[in-house]
Each structure stands twice: as structure tokens, then as C-alpha cells.
Structure 1
Amino acid sequence: MLGAAPILQFGTGRFLQAHVDLFVSQALPLGQALGGIAVVQSTDSAQSSIRLAALGRAAGYPVRIRGLHESRPVDEVVNVDSVRSAWHAGRDWARLLDAVATQVQVIVSNTADQGYALDPADGAALLGAAAAVPRSFPAKLVVLLQHRWRCNPSAPTTLLPCELVGRNGDVLREAVVGLASGWGATADFIAYLRDHCVWANSLVDRIVSEPLQPVGAIAEPYALWAIERQPRMLLPCSHPAIVLTDELASFERRKLWLLNLAHSFLAECWLTEGRPHDETVLEAMCDSTMRTRLEAVWHEEVLPVFDAAGQGDEARAYLVELRERLLNPFLAHRLFDVAQNHAQKKLRRFAPVIQAARSAALGIRQRRLRAALEAASG
């Protein structure tokens, strides 16, 4: 282990390895990072434990960047050495408490789909039992932040969730505040959570296609971390891929209505037409029929909505980069995987575009998107 660090990270998976950890690693030698990262594993899986042990080694780990950038192939390996400590929440809880009380300034998380779910085993007794380890992520934050409030109440504290949840900072804050309130926490501590801690809303966008063993990842060249600007907010580092914005919703719409919509539209074609089981996004993009259909959806059914909102230029610029991403020759992104939870994804990705066109009275048919939604209900 290499000691504590001002950035505490919940999550050890390949996305954070190739995104936040990589950004901090590139910023450190330039003097543009707060410092190193302490990563926390919350599960007990054997694979996660192997990864955690590898993260704790001083040599760092590789991230292989593979794809297209400005029509040129990119294939390079970056050594990421920003991780200073690697802890298991169950075994190293005392270390986490000490780090949060003394050194941590920013808490980053990517805790997967159920990361904000509560655990009925967590209860109010945790607020008075420092030795007990909460099970859920929100409960861990309640206990850790209460300890920080008691030991170092004026120290700046920013939480930067990376989960793919709309307004993720707001959602996480309400989960933590609601839990603390339900446990009977004091009004002063609740005010600290609401008014002193900075809960940042952010959007992450990078395809990290494969893990490397025992630690490391393969990722595309494109990377974005769009963070909503707030007073008193601390960032883990400065990096070209980090964008501070007052219009986070615009970034969310571009990703959801162009990238995610494209994935689900290709998956819809794959499902309804009985295409090859192992077909990938790249193969679909190289099929002239599939590509023509997708381009028609973008140009006839989606871009007019962006134009009506005065965001057409930004959407078209995003599409230029997006086509390169979908044509990544190194990315084995199977449509079988894209199609998981397909009906729910279509509702989230297609329905808002149709509603936005209706609200703007555009008069466009959007027949492909509508047909896909009707198939979902049928």
C-alpha cells in the first residue's frame, strides 16, 4: 500500500480505471491533480479481490487506447499510476474513517446499476458504532460523512458520482440525506450534508470495452466527463476530457438521443430481423442497409428535434465523433449485449425524442422510432 490520498474512489471496475484514474494519472506530473487516489472495494467477489491486490501495487497498470481519432487508427498503452491505496471496505473500515476525517477532499463513485439501493440490514445504530461497516453505498456515505463532520467540519468536501443516473449528484444527496434523517441524525448534521457538502451532477461518456487481467482495461480514444458547475466544487484534476458546464442537460441529451438511441435502434433491427447471433455494432455499421436506416433515423427523426432547440450544430459535431466511435475496428461490442433490457432502454431513449418533437409541433412522422416503441408494447 502506498498511503492515503485526497481522492477516495468507490468502485474498482474497468470504467473508472480507464476514466477518472487515467485522467488523474496524466494530470499528476503536470501538477494539475489534487493528489493520488485511494480505491475502495465493497464486494467480496474473488475477481474483485484479485483486482484490488493488483491496484495496490506501486507499478500501476495498463490502459490500452484503441480506436479511431480524426479517421486515423490509434493503438497505444498508457500506464496508470494514480492509485496510492487499495482498500476493502469490510477489512479496512478504520482506515477509511481516518482518511475521510483527515485527508480526503473528493469522493468519486461508480457503483453500478444498484449502487444507490438501500440495505434493510443498515440501521440507525451505525451512527453510534464506529466499528460496524454499513452494507449499502448510501449508508457508508452517511457514516463516513458524519465522522468527517465531527472531526473536520469546515474541510471542503465534494462528491462526484459517475453512475449513469440522471442528475446523479442530486439523487445521491437525497438518498444520503433521507437515510440520515430516517435514522434520527441531528439537524446540524443534516444541514452539513445539504449545505456544506457539494454533490456534483455529472455525465461520463467513454466505451471501455474489455478488462485486462489482473487489472487494466481497453478503451476507446473518445472520453468525456461533463460536470455541472457549482460554487465551492473541487475537481480531482484538470484534464482535456473534463468539461465544466452550466448546460449538463444538453450533454445528456446528445449522449442519450444520438449514441444510446443508435445502439438501441441497431439492436431493434438485430432482434426483429433474426440477424447473426454474434453480430457486433461495427458489423452493423458496415452493413449498408443497417447504416442507411440508422442515418435516416438520425437525420429525419432526431436532428430536427435538436434544430428546434437551437442545438443542431452541436448535435452534428457530436455525430462526427460518434460515427468514428461506432466504426471502431478494435471494439467487439455485440448487439446481443446491447439488447439486454431492450424494452426499457427503448422507452428511455426513443420516447423522449418523440415527445420533444410533439412539444415543438415539428410535424415529423418519426415512423421508425414509433414502430420500435409499438413493438415494445406489443
Structure 2
Amino acid sequence: MTTPILQFGTSRFLQAHADLFVSEALEVGKALGSITVVQTSGDPARAGRIGALSAATGFPVIIRGLEDGIAIERELRVRSVTRSLSTASDWAEVARVFVEEARVVISNTGDKGYALVEGDSLDGVPRSFPMKLLALLHARFRSGGASLTILPCELISRNGEVLQRVILDLASRHVADVNFQSWLSDRVIWGNTLVDRIVSEPIEPAGAIAEPYAIWAIERQPGLTLPCEHPSIKVVEDLTPYERLKLHILNLGHTVLADRWQREGRPEAECVKDILADTAIRSDLERIYRDEVVPGFRVHHLGKEAEVYVETTLQRFLNPYLDHRLRDIAGNHAEKIVRRIIGFQQWCPGVPMPRLSEIAAR
């Protein structure tokens, strides 16, 4: 058994996104092959998930929501994961798969996945994800240096370029070999990607509940290898419009609602669909989109695209089958206001945004 796709991260998001796409592509002969999933955290609480991900029977992903205004629910079986490992207990095998089998590497390591650990080194099993990745890349280089595509799925703008800079900086400090550093730039393809799917709940021990909408936008570049062909995977010339639409419409809308939820002390378990059942709150959000957000996009000649994305976003928010809790959205609220709202204002100077300015001021 060989697995040309190596995935770092076991999140419910990846289960209902990349893992599902590859599974569906395998059924029609349009995938590179199956996946080895690697747990990078070593969290013993997730030990059960590791085995369940690669069970021969697969794991369930339930798609619930609205498609063209029609309510749908369907359960799919994901069978693309054929091996699951942990860096804490299977480091030698992780390294072997990375060196001998991988053609595409996928990662989704959380909000702080690129954070470094003081005193980390290449000795033994490194502690941070970037140092682990550096160690594995160095092992691949020393074993012949076959080319490789890395597709990070972390929610970071220009995530491929950001991860490349982190790894090149670490390489300059920990590996005294200029040929290795050249290989990292010339033979490793660092893909910039954008992922978008609301995955609201896990299914234990493995599986997830997700909305119908999904996109994985990957910026085109020479030498890029895709894990599969799938209708939800879009290879695009420029990610910027996709990033801005998602960040300043979908994500901004979430933050507007989370701000209202916090400020009014609304129910702890309230979800997006619940708060929008309040017609005054829904009207307020729609006004912000119409009077402040879409005009900002018009400045950048993306007005039509913004109008369509607003309509899609509101349908996603009103999905009656997803329990997308506002308490989860409200995490790191101040930081999200800076990126999603203040960042939008800075991108669109001169566009009046009174309601968004109130939120930013708080």
C-alpha cells in the first residue's frame, strides 16, 4: 500500500473537505491515490480518532442544508484514508511515508499551527509543526530530493508563501547546507490555498456534519500537483478576490453576529440560524452588507461578485440543519475584528461604514 497524499491534521474540517473530495474522486478514478493522516499534536484524547479515520468501512460525513433553496440531507462514507499515524508514537514511519510515498502534503494545524517552540530542534521528534516539517523535508532531500507539492489549508492569507518563509528561515538557522535551501525553493511547490466550508459538528470517533457549500481554491503555479480532480476544487490565477469575499463577507458577517451575541448576553447555546430568526438582527446584518460591505467591494470592481456572495452567505447562515454556535465564532473576537472589519475599512478608505465603525470602536 502506498499513499501519495500525506495529511497533517485530523480536524473535522479536513474530514468533510479534503478527505471527502479525495474519496469521491477515487470512486471515479480522478485521485492520485489514498491518504495517510498524521496527528501532530499527540493529544491522547484524540487517540480514538486516529484508528477510526483509517477503518476499512470509512467514516461518515453528513451533508445537511439548502441546495437551490431545497432542504437536503445525505450521508456519505469517506474511504480515502488508509493509514493513520501519530508523530508522538510513529515518527519513524511518518518520515518513511514522507520520504518514499508522498507527492502532495496537506496541512490544517489550527490557528497557531505555524507557531514555533523555544528551544525546539531537529533532534528526536521536533515539537512544533514547522520544525517537524523541516525535519521531514530534510530527510526527503537527503534521500534524493524528489519534488513535492505542499498545500496548507490553514486560514492564513497566502498560506503557502507564509509557510515557505517560516521553513526557509528555520532551514537557514538549523541546516548548514545551501543546496538544501535551494531545493526548498526550487523543487518544493508551496501552494497558496483558500478553503471554505462550515463544518459544524464532529461525529465520534470520526466523521463530521457539514453544509453543502464547499470550495478549495488553489492558486495556479508551474509544477503544481493536485491531490485529485473534484468540482469543489478550483485552480485559479489569483486568490485575492476569493480571500476578500470570504474574509469580508462570510467571516465579517460572523463577527458582526458574534458582537451582537456578546453585547446583549444572548443564550449560551445560540446558533447563527437562531440569532437570525430575530428579524431586527437579520435586517441589521442585511443593511450592513447592502450599505457598507458591497459598496466597499464596488471600489475594487467586485460589486457583482459581492452581491452574489452575500446572497449565498445568507442562505448558508440560515441553514436550518447546522448548529453553528456563536460561542465558537466569538473566540479571539478582538483579533477577528481587526482582520475582518478594520482590515476591510483599511482596504476601502473613504467608503462610509458607520455600523462597522461602531463595532470596531468597541
CA distance in 2, matches of 1:172, 1:185: 20
Residue 38 (structure 1) aligns with: 36
Residue matched to 1:367: 354
Write out aligned runs for 1:309-324 (5 A). 309-324=300-315
Q: Would the aligned equivalents of 1:4 and 1:84 in 2 still touch at CA under 8 Å?
A: no
1:328: which partner in 2?
Answer: 319
Q: Give the TM-score normalised by structure 1.
A: 0.93
CA-to-partner distance for each residue in 1:214-272, whole Å, 9 max, x for gaps? 11000110001011111001010011111111120110100011001111111222222
**Alpha-carbon distance in structure 2 between the residues aligned to 1:9 and 1:92:** 14
Does 28-37 or 263-272 show the bigger shift? 263-272
What secondary structure sits across from 1:328 in the alignment? Answer: coil
Residue matched to 1:110: 108
Equivalent of residue 347 in structure 2, options 328, 331, 356: 356
The verdict on how the C-alpha distance between 1:192 and 1:231 changes in structure 2, with shifts beyond 3 A counting, is same
Residue 129 of structure 1: aligned partner: none
Matching of residue 152 in structure 1 with residue 140 in structure 2: no
Which residue number in structure 1 is paired with residue 48 of structure 2? 50
Shift of 1:342: 1.4
Among candidates 26, 29, 36, match of residue 28 of structure 1: 26
Change (3 A) 1:277 1:147: closer
Contact 2:42 2:87 in 1 (8 A): no
The question of 1:189 aligning with 2:180 is answered yes
Output the amino acid matched with 2:355: R
| Number of residue pairs aligned between Structure 1 and Structure 2 | 362
Q: Distance in 2 between matches of 1:120 and 1:273?
A: 41
Change (3 A) 1:231 1:121: same
Instruction: Say if 1:169 and 1:202, in contact at 8 Å, map to a contact too.
Output: yes
Q: 2 CA distance for matches of 1:179 and 1:167?
A: 19
Aligned residue for 1:231? 222
Asked if 1:61 is matched to 2:59, the reply is yes
After TM superposition, list the pairs within 5 Å mapping 1:1-378 onto structure 2. 3-123=1-121, 126=123, 132-153=124-145, 155-358=146-349, 361=350, 364-375=351-362
Aligned partners of 2:128, 2:178: CA distance in 1, in Å?
23
CA distance in 1, matches of 2:60, 2:316: 21
Give me the whole-angstrom Cα distance separating, in 1, the residues matched to 2:131 and 2:72.
42
SS in 1 for 2:348: helix
Q: Tell me if the contact between 1:7 and 1:236 (Cα under 8 Å) persists in the aligned partners.
A: yes
Give the drift of 1:58.
1.1
Q: 1:198 Cα deviation (Å)?
A: 0.3
Return the alpha-carbon distance in structure 2 between the equivalents of residues 279 and 205 of structure 1.
22
Instruction: Return the offset for 1:373.
Output: 1.0
| Cα deviation digits, residues 337-370 of structure 1 (max 9, x gap) | 2222212211111112222331xx4xx4211011
- Contact 2:40–2:86 (Cα < 8 Å) also in 1: yes
- Distance change >3 Å, CA 334–CA 31, structure 1 → 2: same
**SS in structure 2 at match of 1:209:** strand
Contact 1:37–1:83 (8 Å) recurs in 2: yes
Where 1:180 maps in the other structure, the secondary structure is helix
Q: Give percent identity, aligned residues only.
A: 46
How far 1:280 sits from its partner (Å)? 1.7
**TM-score, L = length of structure 2:** 0.97
Render the CA deviation track for 1:147-175: whole Å, top value 9, x for unaligned. Answer: 1112132x220000000111111111111
**What SS does structure 2 have at the residue aligned with 1:350?**
helix
Q: 1:274 to 1:55 in 2, by over 3 A?
A: closer
Superposed displacement of residue 31, structure 1: 1.2
Unaligned runs of 5+ in 2: none
Secondary structure (helix, strand or coil) at the match of 2:276 reads helix
1:78 is paired with a residue whose SS is strand
Give the Cα–Cα distance (whole angstroms) in 2 for the partners of residues 143 and 277 of structure 1: 43
3-state SS of paired residue (2:160): helix
SS of match in other structure, 1:264: helix
SS of corresponding position for 2:234:
strand
Higher mean C-alpha deviation, range 46-55 or range 248-257: 46-55
